Amino acid sequence: MQVTQLNWLSAADAGRAIRAGAISCEELAEACLARVREVDDQVQAWAFLDPEHALAQARALDERRKEGAPLGPLHGVPVGIKDIFDTADMPTEDGTVLHAGRTPAEDAAVVARLRAAGAVIMGKTVTTELATYAPGKTRNPHHPEHTPGGSSSGSAAAVAAGMVSLALGSQTNGSVIRPAAFCGVYGFKPTHGFIPRHGVLRQSRTLDQLGVFARTIEDVALACEQLVGYDERDPDTLPPRARIPFLQIATEEPPLPPLLAFVRTPIWDRTEPETREAFEELVAHTGDRIEEFVLPDSTRDALEWHRTIMEAEMAASYVVEYEKGRDKLSDSLRAQIERGRRITALEYQTALARIPQLIEGFARLFERYDAILTPAAAGTAPRGLESTGSPMFCTLWTLAGMPALNMPLMQGANGLPLGVQFVGARGNDARLLRTARWLATRVGAS
Active-site residues, by number, are 82, 151, 175
- Side-chain half-sphere CA neighbours of 201 within 13 A: 28
- Exposure of 280 by Cβ count < 10 A (0-12 exposed, 13-18 middle, 19+ buried)? exposed
Looking at residue 53, the DSSP 8-state letter turns out to be: H
Provide the 10 A C-beta neighbour count for residue 137: 14
Query: What are the CA-CA distances from residue 254 to residues 83, 201, 248, 393, 436 (Å)?
Result: 37, 37, 12, 27, 10
Asked if residue 390 lies in contact with residue 414, where contact means CB atoms within 8 angstroms, the answer is: no
Helix 392-399 to helix 302-317 angle (10° resolution) is 80
Burial 211-245 (b: 16+ CB within 10 A, else e): bbbbbbbbbbbbbbbbbbbebeebeebbeeeeebe
Which residues have CB under 8 Å from 290's CB, separation 6+? Answer: 259, 260, 261, 262, 283, 373
SS3 387: coil
Provide the 10 A C-beta neighbour count for residue 77: 33
End-to-end CA distance of the chain: 19
